[in-house]
Amino acid sequence: MDIKAPRGTKDLLPPESTLWKEIERSVDETARLFGFEEIRTPLFESVALFKRSVGEATDIVSKEMYLLTDKGGEEMALRPELTASVVRAAIEHNLLSQQGSLSKLYYNAAPMFRYERPQKGRLRQFHQFGVELLGSPHPLADFQVIAFAYALYRNLGFVNFELRLNTLGSKDVRALWRSALVDYLSKYLSELSDESKRRLETNPIRVLDSKNQRDQEIVADAPTILDYLSDDDRQHFETVQTLLTDSGILYRIDPTLVRGLDYYNRTVFELSSSDLGSQDALCGGGRYDELVEQLGGPSTPAVGFAAGVERLVIVLEKLRGEAPKQCIDVYIVLAEKSATKSLIAVAATIKGAGFSAAYDLLDRSVKAQMREADRLGAKFVVMIGADELAEGVVTLKNMSDGSQERIAPYLLASKLQTS
Ligand code: HAM
Residues 311-331: tens digit of each pLDDT: 999 999 999 887 777 899 999
Please work out whether the CB of residue 132 comes within 6 Å of at least one atom of ligand 1: yes
Please indicate whether residue 36, judged by its CB atom, sits closer than 6 Å to ligand 1. Answer: no
CA distance linking residue 377 with residue 361, whole number of Å? 17
> How many residues would you count in the chain?
419
Query: Residues 137, 258: one domain?
Result: yes
Q: Say if 78 falls within a structural domain.
A: yes
Residues near 413 by beta carbon (within 8 Å), at least 6 away in sequence: 349, 350, 352, 353, 355
- Counting from 1 in the atom list of ligand 1, the atom nearest the Cα of 82 is 27
Q: What is the per-residue pLDDT across 8-42, written as a single tens digit (0 to 9) for each?
A: 999 999 989 999 999 999 999 999 999 999 999 99
**For atom 26 of ligand 1, which residue has the closest CA?**
306
pLDDT tens figures, 232-264: 999 999 999 999 999 999 999 999 999 999 999
Query: Which residue, among 271, 302, 274, 295, has the nearest Cα to 284 in the 3D structure?
Result: 271
Q: Are residues 83 and 115 in the same domain?
A: yes
Q: Are 351 and 385 found together in one domain? A: yes
Assess whether the C-beta atom of 281 lies below 6 angstroms from ligand 1.
yes
Residues 6+ apart with CB under 8 A from 75: 46, 47, 48, 67, 68, 69
Residues 311 and 373 in one domain: no
Residues 337 and 314 occupy one common structural domain:
no
268 alpha carbon to ligand 1 midpoint, in Å? 13
Q: How many Å apart are CA 21 and CA 223, to the nearest integer? A: 45
Ligand 1 within 6 A of 302 CB?
no
For residues 114 and 155, membership in a common domain is answered with yes
CA of 118 to the centre of ligand 1 (A): 15
Entry pTM: 0.92
In this predicted structure, what is the pLDDT of residue 326?
82
Helices 231-246 & 139-155 angle (0-180, nearest 10)? 30
Ligand 1 site, residue 130, Cβ cutoff 6 A = yes
pLDDT for residue 87: 98
Residue 383 has what pLDDT? 97
Is any atom of ligand 1 closer than 6 Å to the C-beta of 80? no
CATH number (domain holding residue 244)? 3.30.930.10
273 lines ligand 1 (CB under 6 A): no
Q: What is the pLDDT of residues 275-296, one digit of tens each?
A: 888 778 999 999 999 999 999 9
Residue 92 lies in a domain: yes
Please state the rounded mean pLDDT for residues 117-131: 97
Domain, as residue range, for 41: 16-170+230-320
The closest of 86, 140, 114, 19 to 295, measured between CA atoms, is: 86
How far apart (Å, rounded) are the C-alpha atoms in residues 185 and 72? Answer: 46
User: Which residue's alpha carbon is nearest to atom 14 within ligand 1?
Assistant: 308
Among 302, 320, 338, the domain-final residue is: 320
* Sign of the torsion angle spanned by Cα atoms 122, 124, 126, 128: positive
407: left (phi over 0), alpha (psi -120 to 50) or beta: beta
Would you say residue 124 lies in a domain? yes
Q: Looking at residue 404, what is its pLDDT?
A: 95
| Residue 205 domain-assigned (yes or no) | no
Is the shortest distance between the CB of 297 and ligand 1 below 6 Å? Answer: no
pLDDT, tens digit, for every residue of 361-416?
999 999 999 999 999 999 999 999 999 999 999 999 999 999 999 999 999 999 99
Q: Which of 320, 342, 358 marks a domain boundary?
A: 320
Last residue of a domain, one of 320, 344, 370: 320
Domain-located, residue 99: yes
Q: How many domains does the chain have?
A: 2
Residue 243 and residue 363 share a domain: no
Indicate the top mutation candidate among 7, 283, 287, 309 to test ligand 1's pocket, ranked by most ligand atoms within 8 A of CB: 283
Same domain, 121 and 246: yes
Ligand 1 atom at minimal distance to the Cα of residue 283: 10
Q: Are residues 243 and 314 in the same domain?
A: yes
Q: Does the CB atom of residue 282 touch ligand 1 within 6 A?
A: yes
One domain, residues 340 and 312: no
Give the per-residue pLDDT at 82: 98
Q: Is 114 in the pocket of ligand 1 (CB under 6 A)?
A: yes
Say if residue 288 is in the same domain as residue 391: no
Going from the Cα of 306 to the center of ligand 1, the distance in angstroms, rounded, reads 5
Q: Are residues 246 and 357 in the same domain?
A: no
Phi, psi of 306 (to 5 degrees): -135, 150
Neighbours of 246 (CB within 10 A): 9
Ligand 1, atom 30, residue with closest C-alpha: 305
User: 99 pLDDT exceeds 70?
Assistant: no
User: Residue 353: inside a domain, yes or no?
Assistant: yes
Residue 222 lies in a domain: no
Q: 225 in a domain, yes or no?
A: no
CATH number at residue 381: 3.40.50.800
Question: By alpha-carbon position, which residue is closest to atom 23 of ligand 1?
Answer: 308
